[in-house]
Structure 1
Amino acid sequence: MAPPLYLLLDLAVVGRLGGEQLAALGVGTLVLSIVSTQLTFLSYGTTARSARRFGSGDRPGAVVEGVQASWIAVAVGILIVAVAYPCAPVVMRLLVGTSSPESAAVAQDAAGWLRIAMFGVPLILLSMAGNGWMRGVQDTRRPVVYVVVGLSLAAVLVVGLVHGIGPFPRLGLDGSAVANVIGQGVTGMLFAVRVVREARRVPGSRAFAPDWSIIRAQLVMARDLVVRSLSFQICFVSAAAVAARFGVAQVAAHQLVLQLWEFMALFLDSLAIAAQALVGAALGAGRLGAADSVARRVTAVSVVAATAMGALFAAGATLIPRIFTSDAAVLDAVGVPWWFFVGMLPIAGVVFALDGVLLGSGDAAFLRTATLTGALVGFLPLIWLSLVFDWGLAGVWSGLVVFMLVRLATVVWRIRSGRWRQAGAVRA
């Protein structure tokens, strides 16, 4: 729960600067999310692979999976910073547009925020790798502590640096990015220290060295998970680009509700993460019945939690948006996407839980195809038709609803087919 709560705090703090800054934060955060989530295999893929090894009794092998994922994280993170830093202004101008002074200002502010925040990417990826292998060996307490420590520091800094409270300089929107980098840096270093300590206990002299056979196997799973993540991100970038064409207030409202959607996705993902580790360990040990039981229980809890949160957001439809912004135009525009968001939550409860089950089993190829189908059949067509026919945010969010319904149908079918249940330390 700590990451989504921090995102909401960041949103609320920056929202007090005005609608323009809120829109810039939303777009900048979206691009940072695109960059980092393309490498979710460092978390999800590593969890699945290390959990299977742990379940089969090979804990050292599970730790080595974490070491190799950490090498990938550092190398790719540095490459991303080198490429993304000079490209940030161009990307933001293309995404937001410069057809009006307001849009140009949002693009400029978002580029400045992103250039600072990008320096946290290598450590974000290192944290993903650390989360992955530690969940795989069912060490769930330390990752929570590491994340809470980093985000608690970031929470103090974001309030102080954005508004210049106490001993901190007033940096405005840039203060949000600085706080983000420092918090991610602390968390990433804690994960790095832990993997080094664990690797020292692994027999053999090559525990720390890159193992290309393992890295190659991780990258095969990465291919499917990257395509899956890219499908998500193309949809959300398209949605932001279309919303921006409807005006600054509309894109700010869209990003505000989308951040709440991301909050709920991360909230429900905490249950899915538990499913990943438990399903992977059960399949690694050859206990297919236990894997089925985990799938049923996690889905039931996730649906109840999502429905309860949906009721809470429905009751707070007029109050909750005012926590994040006082801009009248943004508040007027929020009402349209709000009820789409509320209505999708029970569907999300099923989809995210079963995603976790399938990820834990290593069924990444199926998830890739299912997500890509949902994007091409549902989300993308409605997003761009919304621009052509001027359907506004209602059209954009209708696309997200269709996307979720396609995903619901595909993951339920896959679970019922039983084809995801493959026993053994390594998925065939």
Structure 2
Amino acid sequence: MPGSTPSLPTVRADDREILRLALPALGALVAEPLYVLADTAVVGHLGTPQLGGLALASSILLIGHALFIFLAYGTTGAVARLLGAGDQRRAAHQAVQSVWLALVVGTVVAVVAAIASAPLVGLLGGEGAVRTNALVYLRISLLGFPALLVTLAGVGYLRGLQDTRRPFQVAVVTALLNLVLELVLIVGLDRGIGASALSTVVAQWSAAAVYVVWIRRAVTVHGVTLAPDRSAIGRLAVAGADLFIRTAALRGALTVTTAVAARIGTDDLAAHQIAFEIWNTLALALDAVAIAGQALIGRELGAADPVAARRLARRMIDWGLGAGIVLAGVVAASSWLLPHVFTDDAAVAALAVFLLWHTAGAQPVNGVVFALDGILIGAGDLRFLAWAMVGAGAVLAAGATLVVTAGLGIGWLWACLEAWMLTRLVTLWWRFRGDAWLVTGVPA
């Protein structure tokens, strides 16, 4: 929808709001992987079987984290919309119900995963001592899974309140707590891989406790009940189902690329993994803009101001594109060096350089896609996002199948990955250009 060009003071004010939310969000996103990095660094000194077990168990846990990220995303948009409408009481009520949903889902998933832990580890190829260590780490870590989901709900509540600073502080402090506990238990007291998992569990429950305290304060201020509300939880579950489908389609598409890379060749798979890890790292920076979008767009639509919502959305797209261009330049300039940080194999490094040029070329598109994703999540346009992701995933799956059947190389697989992102760009941009997502007010 065309509109007048905003004045320079308005643009600067919008930029300040976006950066106020995006920069602390970026810090929190970077801090979260420190849990796994700390575990890897410390457990690596216990031995190769322990490190292999950690790798398998962490893969399962990270998939769980990714699939249930809807607890943060869905809560952010809903709370921001209520904040914009001036209804802090219902926002606090939303937070309470999100925590209840997180506790129920987290407990059920933890129990089921614990029962199915042996088949899950076996599915990933765990055998012998690696399998034993993976089971120990996974089963202990699952004790913290409900806390992880409660933390996601708490993060979503604070983001919806336009506060990304406190989640950043919690992420940093709990990551440091995890590291200190690991050093004491494993290095100081000579405990095994189970102590590493226990350290993470303690850190996760500590984070969850902090968010529960903050939500409890809001409940007291606004006179909200702590009792579960079945209808509110049901609405959250419906919204969560759409985001779950979106995330599952996203993870499935990315898993397909790794599976196809493995079929192409060992060197190709190694190079793919290097480039893909860098792709994922860059995604953290781009996701910070998306988080700002979730919070700001939800707020403006809750305040029944679609003009401000679209104006902020356009500025976030500018930021996403700009960040993508900068990251593309950084990756292109460092592509000759980066692979050698990960491998000493000349053939793998050469392939990785080639794939990093693909990575660099995709970043401007990725930046816009991430921004649009955040905008539409903030608007609550979740059903569209779910099926748009399924459709884009089908495009990638078809291309990947062609790569396998035609015996094509790794470059063609990455072309499919880029086509996947372009498909997402086209569908999300088409949606953004219309008005269907500009639904104002709050649900009754």
| Pair in the same fold by TM > 0.5 | yes
Q: Is the 2:80–2:161 contact (alpha carbons within 8 Å) kept by the matching residues of 1?
A: yes
Cα 1:252–1:76, aligned 2, differ >3 Å: closer, same or farther?
A: farther
Which residue number in structure 2 is paired with residue 186 of structure 1? 206
Residues 161 and 175 of structure 1 are in contact (CA less than 8 Å); yes or no, is this contact kept in structure 2?
no
- After superposition, the Cα gap between the structure-2 partners of 1:186 and 1:254, relative to the gap in structure 1 and judged at 3 Å, is farther
Please give the secondary structure, in 2, of the residue aligned with 1:208: coil
Residues 38, 226 of structure 1: 8 Å contact kept:
yes
Partner of 2:361: 343
The aligned residue for residue 93 of structure 1 is 122
Matched, 1:274 2:292: yes
Structure 1 residue identity aligned to 2:253: C
TM-fit CA distance, 1:32 = 2.2
Q: 1:321 to 1:356 in 2, by over 3 A?
A: same
Match runs of 1:152-301 below 5 Å: 152-156=176-180, 160=183, 167=188, 169=190, 171=192, 177-203=197-223, 207-244=225-262, 251=269, 253-301=271-319
Change (3 A) 1:203 1:83: same
- What does residue 439 of structure 2 align with? 422
How many residues were matched structurally? 415
Change (3 A) 1:397 1:7: farther
Local SS of the residue matching 2:116? helix
- 1:411 match: 428
The one-letter code sitting in structure 2 at the alignment partner of 1:181 is V
- Whole-Å separation in 1 of the counterparts to 2:59 and 2:276: 10
In the superposition, relative to structure 1, how do residues 386 and 192 fare at CA in structure 2: closer, same or farther (>3 Å)? Answer: farther
Please give the per-residue CA displacement for 1:164-212, whole angstroms capped at 9, x wherever unaligned: 65x263757x7765554343333222112211222122225xx100011
Out of 4-13 and 413-422, give the one that drifted further.
Answer: 4-13
Q: Report the secondary structure of 1:369's partner residue.
A: helix
In the alignment, is residue 357 of structure 1 matched against residue 375 of structure 2? Answer: yes
> Which of 392, 416, 432 is matched with 1:399 structurally?
416
Q: Which moved more, 1:39-48 or 1:252-261?
A: 252-261
Displacement after TM superposition at 1:47 (Å)? 1.1
Instruction: Using the TM superposition, give the Cα deviation of residue 334 of structure 1 relative to its aligned residue in structure 2, in angstroms.
Output: 3.6
Cα separation, 2, equivalents of 1:67 and 1:6: 23
Give how far 1:279 is off. 0.7
| CA positional deviation for 1:346 | 1.2
The residue aligned with 1:305 is 323
TM-score (norm: length of structure 2): 0.82
Pick from 66, 75, 78: which aligns with 1:46?
Answer: 75
Indicate conservation of the 8 Å contact 2:84/2:299, yes or no: yes
Preserved contact between residue 50 and residue 136 of structure 1 (Cα < 8 Å): yes
Does the 8 Å CA contact 2:324/2:364 hold for their aligned counterparts? yes
Q: Matches of 1:252 and 1:90 in 2, distance apart?
A: 26
CA gap of 1:77–1:360, structure 2 versus 1, over 3 A, is same
> Is residue 164 of structure 2 the alignment partner of residue 140 of structure 1?
yes
Bigger mean CA deviation after superposition, 379-388 or 353-362: 379-388
Alpha-carbon contact 1:23-1:252 (below 8 Å) kept: no
Equivalents in 1 of 2:350, 2:196: separation in Å?
A: 26
Q: For the Cα contact (< 8 Å) 2:28–2:169, is it kept in 1?
A: no
Contact 1:284 1:426 in 2 (8 A): no
C-alpha separation in 1, matches of 2:28 and 2:75: 21
Deviates more, 1:251-260 or 1:22-31: 22-31
Deviation at 1:216, TM superposition (A): 1.2
Q: Distance in 1 between matches of 2:340 and 2:191?
A: 23
Which consecutive unaligned segments of at least 5 residues does structure 2 have? Answer: 1-26
In the alignment, is the contact (CA less than 8 A) between 1:27 and 1:255 conserved in 2?
A: no
Give unpaired runs (5+ residues) of structure 1.
none
- How far apart are residue 259 of structure 1 and its match? 3.2
Q: Which of 155, 160, 163 pairs up with 1:131? A: 155
Alignment of 1:30-41 (within 5 A): 30-41=59-70
Matched, 1:3 2:29: yes
Query: 2:237 corresponds to which letter in structure 1?
Result: L
Q: Structure 1 residue 359: deviation in Å?
A: 0.5
CA distance in 2, matches of 1:364, 1:309: 28
**Displacement of 1:223 after TM fit?**
1.7
Distance of 1:40 and 1:193 partners within structure 2: 21
CA distance in 2, matches of 1:136, 1:346: 27
**Do 1:271 and 1:353's aligned partners in 2 also have CA atoms closer than 8 Å?**
yes
Moved more, 63-72 or 253-262: 253-262
Shift of the 127–252 alpha-carbon distance from structure 1 to 2, 3 Å rule, reads farther
Query: Root-mean-square deviation (CA), in Å?
Result: 3.3
Which structure 2 residues correspond to residues 321-340 of structure 1 after superposition, within 5 A?
321-324=339-342, 331=349, 334-340=352-358
Question: 1:371 — aligned with what?
Answer: 389
- Rounded to whole Å, the distance in 2 between the matches of 1:387 and 1:92 is 27
Match of 2:399, as an amino acid?
L
Q: Is the 8 A contact 1:337 1:397 kept in 2?
A: yes
Question: Deviations 1:385-410 (Å, cap 9, x if unpaired)?
Answer: 44445546445433322211110101
319-328 or 46-55, larger mean C-alpha shift: 319-328
Cα distance change of structure 1 residues 389 and 30 upon mapping to structure 2, 3 Å threshold: farther
- The offset of 1:323, in angstroms, is 4.1
CA deviation map 1:200-240 (0-9, x unaligned) = 22225xx1000111111111211211111110122233334
Aligned equivalent of 2:90, options 31, 54, 61: 61
For 2:178 and 2:342, how far apart are their aligned partners in 1? 18
